[in-house]
Amino acid sequence: MSESYALDVNHLTIKYNKEHGPLEGIIDFSVKLEKKGEWLGVLGPSGSGKSTILKSIAGVEDRYTGTIRIDGEDCSKMPTGRRKAVLVWQEESLFESMSVMENARFACKTDDEAQAALKLFQVDENLWFKPPRKLSGGQKQRVVLARAYAAKPRIILLDEPFKGLDLESRRQIVSAFQQMKKANQTAVLVSHDVDEVLAMCDYIIVLDQGKKVSGSPTSKLLDEPANQKTAELVAPNNIWPANINNGIMNITGANQAVIGSAPVKNKECVPGQGWAIVHARKIRLGDPVPNAIVIKQLKHERTEVRSAGKLEFFSSPLLTQIQSFDPNGKGTSADSCWFLPDDVWVVNK
């Protein structure tokens, strides 16, 4: 008898070829979400099998082997409608013949549940009895999410829920997601948008060509990415080449000039060529402290400051890119951009 995990996917294997889409390959995926209410993020480039995994967990895709347990129950052979794993599609999936309210009511038992879900996703009451064709893209997406949540699923599977949405709609959806999380709703979130996944999820898996490249709690993934592919996803602009030798790395900037040295904290690293990675939230602006590694020529270095100060991203603690940063040094507070040697993580090339 296996332990009662919120989600336990064991060697989910799917062969996919050109009949099923533009890509060919084999997906081999395992993951465990221990507690109810945890959110799993799945990151990866297009064609890495993210959506196929979600469809398999939902039971819409049935060409797989391996086991899928939701809340301890084996759902591997269960039809999709009985799994209570509701998938939110990338494509529009509202029923045209029904009003917004009827759509939300479709998979739940009472009107109250549907209304509560619509309110949670901030769907204006004036729209409740209108047909979906009268709604904007953002409103439709919120109705789709409300319908999924109203179904009271054991797990909600979100496939690119922010795709094509404006900032205001994203903000409203993130706010609803945070309330869903508080209400102990387990979820899997697939997105190209790293910031959103980092902001919402407790555990993150990085996929590449159907294989798990890394999987770790979000904070560890940010500070200690396991490999270059993961680093490129979580800190795409803050990666520098480094030479690793005797437990020390020399970080090189433009023209192969060494911009600083730092201790190698990653015990799996071997001497040789590597990548030095600093997450955006560890990069600071202003006067550097002693021993800081200073990046002076921002415009010419292979870097872009993604964070500084205490900016907030959708009320979450994640810091985001500063667009107004002046790389020519005219902005007084931005002349020095620096980080501490202890904040640098390194992986082998």
Interface residues with another protein (CB under 8 A)?
Answer: 55, 58-60, 79-82, 85-87, 89-93, 95-98, 106-107, 147, 151
Neighbour-count burial of 319, counting CB atoms closer than 10 A to its CB (0-12 exposed, 13-18 middle, 19+ buried): buried
Dmax of the chain from CA atoms?
Answer: 69
Nearest distance, CB of residue 54 and another protein, angstroms? 11
Nearer to another protein, 55 or 69 (CB): 55
Cβ partners under 8 Å of residue 211, min gap 6: 27, 28
Least distance from another protein to the Cβ atom of residue 107, Å: 4
Of residues 59 and 274, the one with the C-beta less far from another protein: 59
Q: Which is closer to another protein, CB of 21 or CB of 263?
A: 21
Closest CA to 347 of 283, 237, 262, 270: 270
Task: Please tell me the distance from the alpha carbon of residue 15 to that of residue 5, in angstroms, as a whole number.
Answer: 26
Residue 254 to residue 264: CA distance in whole angstroms = 21
Shortest distance, CB of residue 27 to another protein, whole angstroms?
Answer: 18
- Interatomic CA distance for residues 238 and 308, integer angstroms: 13
> How does DSSP classify residue 288?
P
Q: Taking the complex as a whole, how short is the minimal distance between the CB of residue 337 and another protein, in angstroms? A: 40
Distance (Å, whole) CA 150 – CA 272: 54
Give min distance, CB of 215 to another protein, in A: 26
Tell me which residue has tokens 């549907």: 114
Please state whether beta strands 85-88 and 155-159 pair in parallel, antiparallel, or not at all (unpaired). parallel
Closest distance of CB 119 from another protein, Å: 20
- Minimum distance from CB of 46 to another protein (Å)? 14
Half-sphere exposure of 161 (CA within 13 A, CB side): 32
Write the DSSP symbol of residue 246. Answer: T
Cα 17 from Cα 22, distance rounded (Å)? 8
Q: Which is nearer to another protein, 86 or 204 (CB)?
A: 86
Q: Are 310 and 322 in contact (CB under 8 A)?
A: no
How far, in Å, CA of 272 to CA of 348, rounded?
7
Nearest-approach distance from CB 147 to another protein, in angstroms: 7
Give start and end residues of each alpha helix (H) in 194-306: 194-200, 218-223, 228-234
CB closer to another protein out of 99 and 228: 99
Query: Smallest distance, Å, CB 95 to another protein?
Result: 4
| CA neighbor of 308 nearest in space, from 331, 328, 338, 332 | 338
Question: 89 or 240, CB closer to another protein?
Answer: 89
Q: Which of residues 55 and 306 has its CB atom nearest to another protein in the complex?
A: 55
Q: Which is nearer to another protein, 143 or 213 (CB)?
A: 143
Q: Which is nearer to another protein, 3 or 91 (CB)?
A: 91
Question: How far, in Å, CA of 119 to CA of 108, rounded?
Answer: 15
